[in-house]
Amino acid sequence: MDFLILFLFYLASVVMGLVLICVCSKTHSLKGLARGGAQIFSCIIPECLQRAMHRSLHYLFHTRNHTFIVLHLVLQGMVYTEYTWEVFGYCQELEFSLYYLLLPYLLLVVNLFSFTLTCVTNPGIITKANESLFLHVYEFDEVMFPKNVRCPTCALRKPARSKHCSVCNWCVHRFDHHCVWVNNCIGAWNIRYFLIYLLTLTASAATVAIVSTTFLIHLVVMSDLYQETYVDDLGHLHVMDTVFLIQETYMYWDYSWAASQCCLCSVCHIRTQYLFLTFPRIVFMLGFVVVLSFLLGGYLCFALYLAATNQTTNEWYRGDWAWCQRCPLVARPPSAEPQVPRNIHSHGLRSNLQEIFLPAFPCHGRKKQE
């Protein structure tokens, strides 16, 4: 039980850390607390190490590089290698449905295709040639996106819903965010590929987790472990429950080799040990994809919410959250009635999704008389 408690505590710490980051970005008092913590660490960590960390973080998150693309492909390759090498073979021996086992590969093909399109597609870069066309695509709300504002870096007039990306060093039409995993901005012209990429990545992680979990549960059921009992450290007799089976079931499998192929023969011994002593790679892969599925699933729900309401991550972040308005820690403008941005671009679910998956190009944008 200690392992599950530590794992849940770790997962809760990660979630709380993400929540605190979001809250800190909106509050002055917590920003000051974060700066104070950073100053304390700066006194402890040597200056040379601080400079090295600063250069590394600047390279990773503030310059265009392929580090996270390589990391993404390596992690994905490791998961699918383990799935193919062990889980797929074992499940075939246990006569799992082939369509069920091949589903992760189908999702992988679609995911890699959408991942490539997200990486290489122009997100909607604004240049002098198309600047005047982009100005007529969206209406200015005069709060978050006022008229006649020029980008101080590009010296271009900023269309509504655009933003200058400090990493790529260009202004992007309907800017959502810069994604380090695809080394590209997410804008009007590649947001559809990004959503498909995120959807298939979440589905593939969840599918691998489900297949692996089903395989391990199938082994437990085949071994009749639910009919066994065990003696705890105090000498008390207990019936094996689900938590005990997950943590403390050790299965030893005999294999026979014939014609250079490994075939599963029979379950020989069942011992009171940890399950991952027999299948360590499968258990660690399962833990990784389960956590990944929850994290990606949460972000996917957030991305779909933004798409359904025709918002971007940039607009959602800059807007005032309703719960923040009631929070006493949130810094407000000195004026008594601050201007609150309104979502003037949402025109119903169907229209919003059509704008995402069938975006209007500048030449087809709705022109207004200047």
Residues catalogued as catalytic = 179
State the Cα–Cα distance between residues 327 and 213, nearest whole angstrom.
42
Q: Which two tokens stand for residue 6?
A: 């530590």
Which residues does residue 270 pair with via DSSP β-bridges, in sequence order? 251
State the Cα–Cα distance between residues 171 and 184, nearest whole angstrom.
12
State the Cα–Cα distance between residues 67 and 55, nearest whole angstrom.
14
Q: Which two tokens stand for residue 289?
A: 């994809």
Q: What is the DSSP letter of 283?
A: H
357, amino acid identity: F
Q: Tell me, rounded to whole angstroms, the distance of Cα 245 from its chain centroid.
A: 31
Handedness of CA 30, 31, 32, 35 (dihedral sign): positive
Q: At what angle do helices 191-222 and 280-308 cross, to 10 degrees?
A: 140
